[in-house]
Amino acid sequence: MKPGLVLVLGFWGLTACDSPHSVNNINDNNQHNCNAITTPDVPDIIDVIDVTDDLDIQDVPDATGIPTDPDEFQIVCDRKLAALNYPWFFYDRSLTQQLDDYTYSVASYFRYHLDSRTEEQLAAGRMGGFGGFSYIHPATQKKYVAVRSIRWRTSPSVDGEYGPWKLTVTNVQTGITQDWDPGVELLSEDCLNYDLYDPNGKAVMSVWKMTDDEREAVFSCEGSNMDVYKVDLMTGERTYFLRGLEEPVVFAKGTNGYSFQDPGGDFIVMAFRWMNFDPMELRVWNWRTGELVWTFSHPELTGGSPAAEDGWLYYTLREQRGNEWYLKIEGYNFLTGQTGSPPMVMDNTLVPMPAIAGHPEYVFFMAGDGPISSAEPRLPTGEKHYYLWNRETDVVRRVTRIPNRYGSGVLALGQDPPQTAVYLSAGGTYPCYYSKNLIDAGIMDPLGNLLPEP
């Protein structure tokens, strides 16, 4: 195995949901299925920052006990299809329901209020959503999830009956959720063939983008390969960005969705690795026009971020220092040619995430001390934290007081000024989501400006 492959696979495995080849796992009755996200040995593009300068004694983990953070609040653990739009954090839970001698797979929709810290169940239907994330349109304030009906008598792999893929649409402000069947086939041709004829499993879909008028949408589907394409929801016409059967990739994943919210703009980003283990490659498309905007490959590339609306994209490189290997974030604007990177606040920087639509100057990332654990890109061996960097002022602040294992994080879309951080940490059996108001925590001033370290 070439250096770099394991890290990327681990990162994407953290946020991906069900394997299209494991139908039994999707629908078993222990209610973990998609929620029980596997935590592989080597997480991916989630980098953690370690800050050791000018820390208060309360910021330093107590070696004799568990550190606490009064400004950090746990939202929920072991949930899928996460999406964020302040003040709401959305997620689903896959359940099974017995009815009319059939067992149904059911998607149960929830939202969590980040200020009152209360959970609300929105709806439950007779269809399930099995993608890795759900999509919220930042302008129209609608949340979209790809779903299908699934029922079986004895086992979903033996006598399962699978309906066509449709969409559920949730009004972010009211929570009202409705089914929507555009009346066209949503799966790509190859995923549909897999879905109908391959005995090993069923295709899995995710929504990546949607136009304001709901005329066009970008989907990904995974069967024996991965396809990414735009569908005209009036005519069913497809425009492909990636057709897995036509390219000899052993790994292909999109960065869209892994920041829990749409970073804005006209771009989608995918990471690839090829059959002959050539260097990983990043590709950026303008999804509205179908134009391939930028490609980048590097022998030590380990992953990339979503693209910010102003053209900034960040990626993580493995680099050797002496006899040890470390990780470092690099940034590039594929529209202007500018370069820029967050400060090296710890030995490693990794897992960059353009933080929020409307404020592309903010970048969330992780940092950590110590070399990575082997020549393959693994996590830093020392303490790890989340950081927030303002590219325009070059101010960087550590967000977390309690060290994280790995995850990704963002500023919440929908606040003025933006001030609430939401981030994921996987340190136990299941990953958990947390929130922190950065003004209350003294990390931002009352106007939402990031403050220098005291």
The pTM score is: 0.84
Residue carrying the six token digits 């990471």: 271
CB atoms inside a 10 Å sphere around CB 62: 10
Residue carrying the six token digits 């929504």: 207
CB atoms inside a 10 Å sphere around CB 76: 17
In a domain, 305, yes or no: yes
Residue carrying the six token digits 């006899």: 323
H or E segment at 216?
A: strand 216-222
- Cβ(290)–Cβ(230) under 8 Å? yes
CB atoms inside a 10 Å sphere around CB 421: 25
Please provide the size of the chain in residues: 454
Q: Which domain holds residue 419?
A: 5-437
Q: How far apart are CA 208 and CA 217, in angstroms?
A: 7
- Residue 275 is predicted with a pLDDT of 63
In a domain, 454, yes or no: no
In a domain, 227, yes or no: yes
Pairing of strands 142-147, 150-152: unpaired
CB atoms inside a 10 Å sphere around CB 20: 22
H or E segment at 119?
A: strand 118-124
251: CB partners within 8 A, 6+ apart:
5, 8, 9, 271, 272, 273
Total number of domains in the chain: 1
- Residue 180 is predicted with a pLDDT of 95
Query: What phi, psi does 78 have (nearest 5°)?
Result: 55, 50
In a domain, 447, yes or no: no
Token output for 97: 């329901």
Q: How far apart are CA 407 and CA 446, in angstroms?
A: 28
Token output for 425: 């940490």
- Residue 240 is predicted with a pLDDT of 96
In a domain, 442, yes or no: no
Residue carrying the six token digits 């593009």: 45
- Residue 257 is predicted with a pLDDT of 63
Q: How many CA atoms lie within 13 A of 327 on its CB side?
A: 43
Q: At 230, which CATH number? A: 2.130.10.150
Q: How far is CA 203 from CA 52, 129, 162, 186, 411, in A?
A: 46, 12, 10, 11, 32
Q: How far apart are CA 210 and CA 141, in angstroms?
A: 11
Give the ranges where 295-385 is alpha helix by DSSP (H): none
CB-neighbour burial class of residue 29 (10 A; exposed 0-12, middle 13-18, buried 19+):
exposed
Query: What phi, psi does 156 have (nearest 5°)?
Result: -65, -25
SS3 content of the chain, % helix, strand, coil (to 5): 10, 45, 50
CB atoms inside a 10 Å sphere around CB 131: 26
In a domain, 13, yes or no: yes
Q: How far apart are CA 333 and CA 3, in angstroms?
A: 26
- Residue 373 is predicted with a pLDDT of 79
CB atoms inside a 10 Å sphere around CB 224: 16
Q: How far apart are CA 316 and CA 304, in angstroms?
A: 6
Q: How far apart are CA 32 and CA 246, in angstroms?
A: 35
In a domain, 366, yes or no: yes
- Cβ(46)–Cβ(407) under 8 Å? yes
Token output for 151: 């029922």
In a domain, 445, yes or no: no
- Residue 350 is predicted with a pLDDT of 93
| pLDDT tens per residue across all 454 residues of the chain | 333 322 332 333 223 333 322 322 222 222 223 322 222 222 333 222 222 222 232 333 333 445 689 999 999 998 888 899 999 999 988 888 898 899 998 888 999 999 999 999 998 777 886 666 789 999 999 999 999 999 999 998 889 999 999 999 999 999 999 999 999 999 999 999 999 999 888 999 999 999 999 999 999 999 888 999 999 999 999 999 999 888 877 777 777 666 788 888 899 999 887 766 667 899 999 999 999 999 999 999 988 999 999 999 999 999 999 999 999 999 999 999 999 999 999 999 999 998 688 898 999 999 999 999 765 557 899 999 999 999 999 999 999 998 888 888 899 988 999 999 999 887 666 789 999 999 999 999 999 999 998 8
